[in-house]
Amino acid sequence: MPGSDRPTVLVVGAGINGAALARELVLAGCNVVVADDHDIAAGTTAWSTRLIHGGLRYLEYGEVSLVRESLAERARLVRLAPHLVAPLPFYLPVQGRWGGVAAAAARIVGWERLARRWSGPHGRGSIAVGLGLSLYDLLSGGGWPRHRRVRPGTAGLPAVDTTRFPRGQVYVDAQLRFPERFTVELLVDAAAAAAAAGRSCRILPHTAVRIGSDATVDLEDRAGHGERMAVDAVVNVTGAWVDAALAGPLRGLEADGRLVGGTKGSHLVIDSAPLHAALAGHGVYAEAADGRPVFVLPFGPRLVLVGTTDIPWQGDPWEARAEPPEIAYLLAAAGRLFPDHAPTADDVVQHYCGVRPLPAGGRGTPAGITRRHMLVRHPRAALPAWSIVGGKLTTCRSLAESAAREILAALGRKVEGNSRDRPLPGAPAAGGTAALVAATRAGLIAAGVAAGDGLEAAAERTVAVFGALAPAAVAGGPVPGPALLPATHLPAAVVRYCVRREWARSLADLVERRLMLLFDSPLHRTTLDGVAAVLAAERGGGEADEVGPLVVDLERRYGKRVIDDRQPDRRG
């Protein structure tokens, strides 16, 4: 058995934090088992604003060290995963001049109630925003563009209402459009690093875990295949489900008290060419009429992402939905910024909602609860065990590095390596994207895509999704059926790759978290049929049809309508 002289750590939860921790533990010198009772990145990771940012507004809450850590990670992730994390200029529209200075000062010293009383009707003015951005620049260190004051209404800036917002600043943060793919790549890398070092790394999505009080670990996959194993340590990285896991299948860890008290946040995906054009390639970060932060972000070549709300949430995070009042609130917030291009409910092509895994017991407003993460030890467990509370996409790697250090110290082991300078597997090497597109084109021809079928567009789309993994994703020749997934430029061969190499098990895994078809606007029924056909061939057939239930589920959860473009005689 590879790595039998090494400790084996069980990571429960394959969101961005569990995946980053698994990779870090492998690099540090452990064997790892990662188990998730859903798919990789099926939780909060997929329901975020998708920014890699320092968190400008956390400065007001005195979270200077968190902002500094986040900004260092922002620079690192842009360098190590440039195919997924890209700098994005932000426009910050401002109403007045002095507003918010007294409130910010009160907030920094922890007087939230006074801060709320002192917040004027016009939000933070240019003095408070300028001071915050100067500190943000300082904490960013060198090599990152500084903020600048701009004249609203100038060409090349977002067409925000200049009457309401006569002042503006521009600064740069970063966008991670697909954290789902980032998470999958963390695990691809963990498995590759383990294989190269002769360690073991097992990735087990759709697998239930149960830990008994005698430290026995039972795993059971969706087909009902069970396994009992021995591990040296357990880390509960189930995010917003931390307490539910500790009260249920991880009861054996003997935890006390509540660790997480979440707030839910909703987002809208808007298909509006005028609004997208009005952004002029910038994200807009502004205050809504009630003073809450709101983001209006370009999301690929035609969509716009608007978020978010921040509402205390007690229920099961799987049940959190963007409710009609939240949708109306976000539309109004975007319309207040862009009255000439105000989106309507008809422009909303989907929405989503996630629960922030914030530490329990936070006081004041939801926005004021710390976004810092914590590693909490469970001293009464029969084996070394911890839970991770909180965290952001941005700090997944630094969280993993500090947690791995603490876990190895508790196991009496030396840390052998870390991920500080390790690119993700999809990061393009020398030659960049152009060389990758050329290499992918060759594989596509072998997979049966002809020049007249849109070979170039297929190569570009494959590289956009898989980065440097694109040539591998199309290798292996044709799959049964059409060479391109119907109504897309995505080659059908990538479905086979995701099943064989990226642990995709179901149609939903493929559509929502591997191929990112969920964000196709419009998304066609024949595309889903095409994905399902390759999936069925990979499995050898014999499973129930998943297309119909997925169509229903996409509408129920995300308000996403799949266009039925099948021939009339094939419609169900």
Ligand X SMILES: Cc1cc2nc3c(=O)[nH]c(=O)nc-3n(C[C@H](O)[C@H](O)[C@H](O)COP(=O)(O)OP(=O)(O)OC[C@H]3O[C@@H](n4cnc5c(N)ncnc54)[C@H](O)[C@@H]3O)c2cc1C
Single-letter residue type at 216: T
Q: If we measure between CA atoms, which residue out of 40, 34, 416 comes closest to residue 234?
A: 34
> Considering the complex, what minimum distance in angstroms separates the CB of residue 17 from ligand X?
3
41 — alpha (psi -120 to 50), left (phi > 0) or beta? left
CB closer to ligand X out of 240 and 490: 240
Q: If we measure between CA atoms, which residue out of 455, 33, 474, 482 comes closest to residue 221?
A: 33
The number of beta carbons lying within 10 Å of the beta carbon of residue 553 is 14
Q: What angle do CA 307, 390, 291 make, to 5 degrees?
A: 35
CA dist 159 and 169 (Å) reads: 13
CA dist 55 and 68 (Å) reads: 10
CB closer to ligand X out of 167 and 206: 206
CB closer to ligand X out of 259 and 534: 259
Query: How far from 446 is each of 457, 495, 526, 534, CA to CA, in Å?
Result: 16, 16, 24, 17
CB closer to ligand X out of 264 and 560: 264
CA dist 221 and 225 (Å) reads: 5
> Considering the complex, what minimum distance in angstroms separates the CB of residue 353 from ligand X?
7
Q: If we measure between CA atoms, which residue out of 124, 387, 172, 404 comes closest to residue 258?
A: 387
> Considering the complex, what minimum distance in angstroms separates the CB of residue 108 from ligand X?
22
> Considering the complex, what minimum distance in angstroms separates the CB of residue 486 from ligand X?
30
User: Over the Cα atoms of the chain, what is R_g?
Assistant: 24
The structure tokens 């789902």 sit at 180
CB closer to ligand X out of 42 and 479: 42
Q: Are 491 and 483 in contact (CB under 8 A)?
A: yes
Give the max Cα distance, the chain: 69
> Considering the complex, what minimum distance in angstroms separates the CB of residue 432 from ligand X?
26
CB closer to ligand X out of 487 and 550: 550
CA dist 21 and 27 (Å) reads: 10
CB closer to ligand X out of 17 and 488: 17
CB closer to ligand X out of 37 and 460: 37
CB closer to ligand X out of 102 and 311: 311
> Considering the complex, what minimum distance in angstroms separates the CB of residue 290 from ligand X?
17
> Considering the complex, what minimum distance in angstroms separates the CB of residue 207 from ligand X?
8
CB closer to ligand X out of 88 and 458: 88
Q: If we measure between CA atoms, which residue out of 77, 24, 76 comes closest to residue 194?
A: 24
> Considering the complex, what minimum distance in angstroms separates the CB of residue 176 from ligand X?
8
> Considering the complex, what minimum distance in angstroms separates the CB of residue 44 from ligand X?
3
Q: If we measure between CA atoms, which residue out of 179, 322, 227 comes closest to residue 33?
A: 227
> Considering the complex, what minimum distance in angstroms separates the CB of residue 14 from ligand X?
5
Sign of CA dihedral 533, 536, 542, 547: negative
Give the residue closest to ligand X by C-beta: 15
Tell me which residues touch ligand X (CB under 6 A): 12-18, 35-38, 42-45, 47-51, 209, 237-241, 245, 249, 265, 308, 354-357, 391-394
Query: How far from 490 is each of 165, 377, 473, CA to CA, in Å?
Result: 42, 45, 11
Residue 223's SS3 state is: coil
Q: Are 398 and 69 in contact (CB under 8 A)?
A: yes
> Considering the complex, what minimum distance in angstroms separates the CB of residue 69 from ligand X?
11
CB closer to ligand X out of 399 and 437: 399
Residue 87's SS3 state is: strand
CB closer to ligand X out of 49 and 527: 49
CA dist 491 and 209 (Å) reads: 35
Q: Are 278 and 338 in contact (CB under 8 A)?
A: yes
CB closer to ligand X out of 239 and 298: 239
Single-letter residue type at 304: V
CB closer to ligand X out of 119 and 238: 238
> Considering the complex, what minimum distance in angstroms separates the CB of residue 134 from ligand X?
22
User: Which tokens belong to 13?
Assistant: 């939860």
> Considering the complex, what minimum distance in angstroms separates the CB of residue 183 from ligand X?
8
Polymer length of the chain: 572
> Considering the complex, what minimum distance in angstroms separates the CB of residue 243 from ligand X?
10
3-state secondary structure 355-411: EECCECCCCCCHHHCCCCCEEEECCCCCCCEEEEECCCCCCHHHHHHHHHHHHHHHC
Question: 12: part of which helix (H) or strand (E)?
Answer: strand 8-12
